[in-house]
Amino acid sequence: METVLEQTALLLRNMALCDYCLGRQFARISPTINNREKGRALKLALFLEAVKKQEQELITLLASNGGLDEAIHHLRLTETTKKGCDICGGLLNETKFKGLAEKAADLLTSHEFTTFLVGAKASAEVIEREDRLRSVVGISEGEDIRNDVKREVAKIFAELTGKKIEYASPDVVITVDIFRDRVDVFPNPVFVKGRYLKHSRELPQSVWHCGYCWGRGCEKCGYTGRKYPLSVAELVGEPAKHIYGAVDYKFHAAGREDVDALVAGEGRPFILELKKPVKRNLPLHEVEKQINENAKGLVTVLLEGYSTRKEVRAIKLTSPATAKTYLLTAVYDVDLDEQAVKALETRFRNVVVDQLTPTRVLRRRREKLRKKLVYEVEAVLADRRTAVFRIRCQGGLYVKELVTGDNGRTRPSFAEYLGAVPASMELTVVKVET
């Protein structure tokens, strides 16, 4: 097996290499040593060996392909003997790294962040050149050139800004391309967790486009492109986007209610994702206040804390264990039998309900049989024709159809036992358990 010095000589015979690019070929031997130091140490050691053995050719090689000042002085040559690095073209140097770090700091001056991560780009051409060299010389201890760039820029950036490197979930990702002299910054999203109450029966959870023009704007929608002018998502997201200086937002909720259903009680959990924010650490009671003032009584939010992408995935999974509680007021056009209404409480204790996709949503959703649990029902008569039901059931159950039976498509149903279908219903979500 060749010694490290023999390999160094072999590498330099193949290519001109700067200290970084030479040292990097041995990166995995004692990895804590910086590649630049390692490269220079190898060149110096090889130089001493060459001087001792009076190997003129090797000293010349160190002066030209190694660009080693000591070798140049020894041979009384001039700087022009030095050849530019064949891998990086001399771009891997302190000045360049500092320039990139400063550029990144400039781009982030107005951004709030405490942690960052640097990523680097290199052209396929550069990487191929280095791979070819390694296979010719037979070296297997090298690392990727991008690691040198990442490490050095991150070190300088940390000193410059006092921010910390974080691998798992940095506030900001900085990507640098030393070959194109390009720096980009990507502030990661901020996630705000909370619950919302909805006080309007004409408010969808997300933007509802006009069914005639699909958002382009037409006569039917008064050129708004909307079926409903507002949505919960916008009432929460727009002011938050503004406060955080974000470029966009995404509203993730634990399920959704019908447009005409209210959300009361503890509210429905949601996570607001704010994309590329300038601010990250605002006091949530301030944000909450601004959202609520702006929502003009249509929506109220309770913000609970900052959240993560992982929690977004969890909130969007409707686990079979989730339970929802609804308050439903049904008005019938016949008198109801009080006994029959009360009997619903025993009939619908832990009962599996079979539901074919409701007729009212069949246009949007495909036909499917769902089996959902009704855990508990409380039923009271408000007057002879008005019943108030409190229904606790598994998430995903269509509650209105549980009451109407949807022409036999939902079974069992309240309509089956009461022998009546309500003329109108008002639904309120009072609790969402996740």
Q: Which residues bind Zn ion (CB under 5 A)?
A: 18, 21, 85, 87-88, 92, 210, 212-213, 218, 220-221
Q: CB of residue 63 vs Zn ion: minimum separation in angstroms?
A: 17
Q: CB of residue 36 vs Zn ion: minimum separation in angstroms?
A: 10
Residue sitting closest to Zn ion (CB): 210
Q: CB of residue 214 vs Zn ion: minimum separation in angstroms?
A: 8
Decide if 5 contacts 38 (C-beta within 8 A). no
Minimum CB distance to Zn ion smaller for 21 or for 101: 21
Please identify which of the residues 144, 258, 260, 337 carries the catalytic annotation.
Answer: 258
Decide if 62 contacts 50 (C-beta within 8 A). yes
Minimum CB distance to Zn ion smaller for 126 or for 432: 126
Minimum CB distance to Zn ion smaller for 133 or for 264: 133
Interatomic CA distance for residues 70 and 299, integer angstroms: 74
Minimum CB distance to Zn ion smaller for 211 or for 419: 211
Alpha carbon distance, N-terminus to C-terminus of the chain: 62
Q: CB of residue 125 vs Zn ion: minimum separation in angstroms?
A: 14
Q: CB of residue 213 vs Zn ion: minimum separation in angstroms?
A: 3
Minimum CB distance to Zn ion smaller for 35 or for 413: 35
Active site residue 258: yes
Q: CB of residue 145 vs Zn ion: minimum separation in angstroms?
A: 8
Interatomic CA distance for residues 119 and 48, integer angstroms: 38
Minimum CB distance to Zn ion smaller for 85 or for 122: 85
Please list the active-site residues.
258
